[in-house]
């Protein structure tokens, strides 16, 4: 048995809907600008340019029902509601045709973004890490196994802040669908069991204030309710 010099931490994990078991989270990959209307609101031409990715630490996940501190170092925190894919296996150069075989299940999540730090990073050609991969930046609902719900490709996705609808779209509007995303990403990194993929947000991203309650849903997949105190 490995002897560690300091006490090792528990794996980050998420609940699985209807189960006592939990899903261990390894890494969190996120797709940028994967809905045309969101690309446009961010001032970009939604051409089908190759997908691009950024990541968050695995322990940035926040589970359904939590209240977490409002993030530091931002005056412009944005919500981005997204379909989340949870992988049960991985590999390199996965073909689209078998990509869904690696999916354990799906959830709804929110890619919290320090938009002010991201705008500055874009302007100065600096990395996005501190605008995307901060503590508690990946609220995510319980995972629904694909064995129960199949592989959703046409479903309403909604985010409410304090009861008011802020984002409402359909996951069928993704520029790169889930198999294409898995195939492409597996050409950049070897995907592994436990990886989560946040698949991008529809339009309507906006500022969240201290004390806000975020309620997210994807029809047929699940819901998520997290408060930033
Ligand atoms: Mn996003």
What digits encode the pLDDT tens for the residues 146-186? Answer: 999 999 999 999 999 999 999 999 999 999 999 999 999 99
Question: Among residues of the chain, what percentage have pLDDT more than 90?
Answer: 94
Contact 109, 198 (CB under 8 A): yes
Torsion angle of alpha carbons 162, 163, 165, 170, nearest 10°?
110
For residue range 10-55, what is the model confidence (pLDDT) as tens digits?
999 999 999 999 999 999 999 999 999 988 998 888 777 899 999 9
Q: Is 200 left (phi over 0), alpha (psi -120 to 50) or beta?
A: left
Average pLDDT value for residue range 127-144: 98
Contact 54, 128 (CB under 8 A): yes
Q: Residue 154: its pLDDT value, please?
A: 98
Question: What residue segments make up the domains of the chain, in order of their start?
Answer: 13-228
Q: Residue 46: its pLDDT value, please?
A: 78
Distance CA 80, CA 82 (A): 6
Mean pLDDT estimate for the chain? 97
Burial annotation 142-152 (CB, 10 A radius, 16+ → b, else e): bbbbbeeeeeb
> Cα(201) to centroid of ligand 1, in Å?
5
- pTM for this predicted structure: 0.97
Contact 196, 25 (CB under 8 A): yes
CA angle (92, 133, 4) in 5-degree steps: 75
Q: Residue 47: its pLDDT value, please?
A: 74
Q: Residue 202: its pLDDT value, please?
A: 97
- Euclidean distance between the first and final Cα of the chain, in Å? 41
Alpha helical stretches, state H, the chain? 36-41, 96-99, 115-123, 129-132, 146-149, 178-185
Cβ contacts of 78 within 8 Å, gap of 6 or more: 112, 113, 114, 115, 205, 206, 207, 208
> Cα(29) to centroid of ligand 1, in Å?
10
Contact 4, 85 (CB under 8 A): no
Q: Is the pLDDT of residue 139 over 80?
A: yes
Q: What is the DSSP secondary structure assignment for residue 4, as one 8-state letter?
A: P
> Cα(18) to centroid of ligand 1, in Å?
27
The domain made up of 13-228 is a member of CATH 3.90.850.10:
yes
User: Helix (H) and strand (E) counts for the chain?
Assistant: 6, 17
> Cα(2) to centroid of ligand 1, in Å?
37
Which pLDDT band, with edges at 50, 70 and 90, does 217 fall under? very high
Which pLDDT band, with edges at 50, 70 and 90, does 226 fall under? very high
> Cα(194) to centroid of ligand 1, in Å?
19
> Cα(31) to centroid of ligand 1, in Å?
6
Distance CA 76, CA 74 (A): 5
């Amino acid at each position: 048995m490995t002897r560690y010099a300091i006490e090792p931490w528990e794996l980050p994990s998420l609940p699985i809907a209807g189960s006592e078991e939990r899903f261990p989270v390894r890494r969190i990959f996120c797709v940028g600008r994967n809905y045309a209307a969101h690309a446009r609101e961010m001032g970009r031409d939604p051409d089908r340019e190759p997908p691009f990715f950024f990541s968050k630490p695995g322990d940035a996940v926040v589970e359904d029902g939590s209240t977490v501190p409002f993030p530091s170092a931002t005056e412009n925190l944005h919500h981005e509601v997204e379909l989340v894919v949870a992988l049960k296996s991985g590999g390199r150069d996965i073909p689209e045709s078998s990509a869904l075989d690696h999916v354990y299940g799906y959830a709804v999540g929110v890619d919290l973004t320090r938009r002010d730090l991201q705008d500055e990073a874009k302007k100065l050609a600096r990395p996005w890490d501190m605008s995307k991969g901060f503590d508690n930046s990946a609220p995510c609902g319980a995972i629904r196994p694909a064995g129960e719900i199949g592989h959703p490709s046409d479903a309403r996705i909604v985010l409410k802040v304090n009861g008011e609808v802020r984002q409402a779209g359909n996951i069928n509007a993704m520029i790169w669908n889930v198999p294409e995303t898995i195939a492409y990403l597996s050409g950049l990194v070897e995907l592994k069991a436990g990886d989560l993929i946040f698949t991008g947000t529809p339009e309507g991203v906006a500022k969240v204030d201290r004390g806000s309650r975020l309620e997210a849903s994807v029809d047929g997949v699940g819901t998520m309710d997290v408060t930033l105190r």
